[in-house]
Amino acid sequence: MTDTPFRSDFLRTIEARGAYQNCTEPEALDALLGNVRVTAYIGFDCTAPSLHIGSLVQIMTLRRFQQAGHKPIVLMGSGTTKVGDPSGKDESRQLLSTEQIEANKKSILRIFERFLTFGDGPTDAVMVDNAEWLDKLEYIPFLRDIGRHFTINKMLTMDSVKLRLERDQSLSFLEFNYMILQAYDFMELYRRYGCRLQCGGSDQWGNIVNGIDLGRRVADAQLFGLTSPLMTTASGAKMGKTAAGAVWLNADMFSPYDYWQYWRNTEDRDVGRFLRLFTDMPSDEIARLEALQGAELNQAKKVLATETTALAHGRTAAEQAAETARRTFEEGAIDEGLPTYEIAAEKLKGLALTSLAQMSGLTASASEARRHIEGGGLRVNDVAVKDVKAVVGASDITGKGVIKLSIGKKKHILVKPV
Partner RNA sequence: GGGGGAGUGUCCCGAGCGGCAAAGGGGACGGACUGUAAAUCCGUUGGCUAAGCCUUCGUUGGUUCGAGUCCAACCUCCCCCA
Please report which helix (H) or strand (E) contains residue 242, including its range. Answer: strand 241-242
Smallest separation, CB 126 to RNA (Å): 37
Smallest separation, CB 213 to RNA (Å): 28
Q: What is the largest CA-CA distance in the chain?
A: 77
Say whether 366 sits in a helix, a strand or coil.
helix
| Pick 9 or 268: Cβ nearer RNA | 268
Do residues 107 and 251 make contact, with C-beta atoms less than 8 angstroms apart?
A: no
Smallest separation, CB 86 to RNA (Å): 13
| Pick 12 or 327: Cβ nearer RNA | 327
Do residues 167 and 92 make contact, with C-beta atoms less than 8 angstroms apart?
A: no
Smallest separation, CB 343 to RNA (Å): 16
Q: CA angle at residue 166 from 162 to 171, to 5 degrees?
A: 65
Interaction site with RNA (CB under 7 A): 168-170, 235, 237, 241-243, 261, 264-268, 294-295, 297-298, 301, 325-326, 328-330, 354-355, 358, 364-368, 370-372, 375-377, 407-411
Q: Where does residue 381 fall: left (phi above 0), alpha (psi -120 to 50 degrees), or beta otherwise?
A: left
Could you list the beta-strand ranges (E) of 55-212. Answer: 71-77, 126-129, 197-201
| Pick 13 or 266: Cβ nearer RNA | 266
| Pick 118 or 329: Cβ nearer RNA | 329
Smallest separation, CB 70 to RNA (Å): 36
| Pick 90 or 346: Cβ nearer RNA | 90
| Calpha distance 362→271 (Å, rounded) | 29
| Calpha distance 65→224 (Å, rounded) | 14
- In the β-sheet with 126-129, what is the strand arrangement from edge to edge? 22-23, 224-228, 197-201, 39-45, 71-77, 126-129
Smallest separation, CB 115 to RNA (Å): 25
